[in-house]
Amino acid sequence: MPATTTKTGAKAATATKTVAAKPKAVRGVEQRFNKARRASILLKHVSDPTRLQVILILAEGERHVGALCEQLDQSQPAVSHHLALLRHGGIIAPRRQGKNNFYSLTETGTELARVVTNLID
């Protein structure tokens, strides 16, 4: 068993050296790619008109699911589906009070609301 640990440790050390040995330009390209990938995932979460409406509604303040259903004129399961996608994307945050779930924008959600508002105004 110690031989396996040593091999794994050696592989980890080699991998660390390989990452550190990359030229600065290559690291910059990888960082830019990773940022672009994260942005792409984020934009996919908001690539639906209903989800954009939710973001704009929540920019006005916290709402519970029932209020969002009324404002969007959609069923509770449909709205909950959109909320789940936004929640998993880190765009909104839930708060439970009794039987009600209230939602508000995260910092990322607030920035997205600002961008969307600037685009449509």
DSSP state at residue 91: S
Q: Where are the alpha helices (DSSP H) in 1-121?
A: 2-21, 24-45, 49-59, 65-72, 76-88, 107-120
Is residue 5's pLDDT more than 50? no
Residue 20 is predicted with a pLDDT of 59
Residue 19 is predicted with a pLDDT of 53
Instruction: List phi, psi (to 5°) of 93.
Output: -130, 135
| pLDDT tens for each residue of 18-76 | 555 678 878 888 999 999 998 898 888 889 999 999 999 999 999 999 999 999 999 99
Q: Are 55 and 109 in contact (CB under 8 A)?
A: yes
pTM of the predicted protein model? 0.73
Is residue 11's pLDDT more than 70? no
Instruction: Tell me how long the chain is.
Output: 121
| pLDDT tens for each residue of 78-108 | 999 999 999 999 999 999 999 889 999 999 9
Integer CA distances (angstroms), 58 to 21, 24, 47, 50, 67, in order: 46, 41, 17, 12, 11
